Structure 1
């Protein structure tokens, strides 16, 4: 089982990189990913509440954000905080 977990992590890291968000540009990318997931894909929140297509909340200013980026395309693929 341990080898299976390592293999999964290794495969993930072949295609994606995890970055600590330090710039306003990357923070915007995080909020845009959240908008696509929460408002468009799962419809947890109304997109009308976020006319700039960037989902934010009261916790963002004091949170650390990580961006998951697809290595070959450079596109934001996910995020965590």
Structure 2
């Protein structure tokens, strides 16, 4: 299984993921990134966060960028419960 790393970019700050996760493919990595973004959106921070300037960069074990997931993409606009 490939290993994926989820590096959270909040403005100019980067929260690196040194361990990563073994996942079956990039589609599953996208799902994990979406869940992470939803958790971040539900977290209270000491300072306001400009979520439009934030994303999760997913890299593989060769340090190649697999995808970039904008945090705001995790907002459910359908009105349906998760």
TM-score, length basis structure 1: 0.34
> Which has the larger helix fraction?
1
TM-score, length basis structure 2: 0.34
> Which has the larger strand fraction?
2
Higher Cα radius of gyration? 1
